[in-house]
Amino acid sequence: MPPIKHTPLRILPLAADHIPDLMIMEQEAYPDPWTHGMFRQEIENGAAYFYVATLRNRIIGYGGFWLLLDEAHVTKITVSRLYRRHGIGARLMRYLLRRAKILGASSMRLEVRESNEPARHLYEQLGFEDAGIRRGYYTKTGESAVVMMKRI
Ligand SMILES: CC(C)(COP(=O)(O)OP(=O)(O)OC[C@H]1O[C@@H](n2cnc3c(N)ncnc32)[C@H](O)[C@@H]1OP(=O)(O)O)[C@@H](O)C(=O)NCCC(=O)NCCS
């Protein structure tokens, strides 16, 4: 089988029957995981664009953004633990950037936990820059968020 980084990803809009798989990955990845209802809202909210990434018919990542006027605000990006460090997160983020641009966004913005080195490196590698800090942004852990922005 070819290495993961040379295998095409299939990226699809989120559908209700994807949610159970997403919740497993979500609980592995975050101290404050999204609920079923929160994923459901990403399908129902007209400003939300949310996608799953599949590799060989298995969901291995997901992510999305809200389009607020001409700014895309990333709501989430997650790669299944078993598939990290194979370039999937970068491919999914590049897809979100392309989609946002096609939909008319001129910038993309996100918040990331101050301690989340993997994600901060990923965003820096894609050209995002620090644009501020929000103290105590994550209510469950009290951790601060770094705000990052990129013009697209
Ligand atoms: C952040 C996350 C999406 C990255 O996904 P990934 O598929 O492993 O990332 P990639 O393999 O595409 O890595 C791209 C770049 O990100 C950085 N990176 C990724 N994981 C890293 C790690 N553990 N340590 C340091 N840098 C890391 C590197 O710069 C990497 O480039 P390189 O491989 O050329 O060094 C993944 O770690 C994840 O799902 N984490 C849990 C959920 C989360 O925190 N999401 C972000 C919320 S803001």
Residue 28 counted as domain residue: yes
Residue 132 counted as domain residue: no
- CA 85 to ligand 1: nearest atom: 11
pTM of the model as a whole: 0.96
* CA distance linking residue 2 with residue 130, whole number of Å: 36
Task: Note if 143 is an active site residue.
Answer: no
Taking the mean position of all CA atoms in its chain, how far away is CA 130?
17
Residue 78 counted as domain residue: yes
- CA 25 to ligand 1: nearest atom: 39
Residue 123 counted as domain residue: no
Residue 58 counted as domain residue: yes
Residue 87 counted as domain residue: yes
Contact 59, 12 (CB under 8 A): no
Q: Is the four-CA dihedral 120, 57, 13, 39 of positive or negative sign?
A: negative
pLDDT given for residue 30 in this prediction: 94
Nearest of 70, 150, 73 to residue 103 by alpha carbon: 70
Domain count, the chain: 1
Residue 20 counted as domain residue: yes
Residue 83 counted as domain residue: yes
- Enclosing domain of residue 77: 4-110
94-132: pLDDT as tens digits: 999 999 999 999 999 999 999 999 999 999 999 999 999
* CA distance linking residue 40 with residue 50, whole number of Å: 10
CATH code assigned at 56 = 3.40.630.30
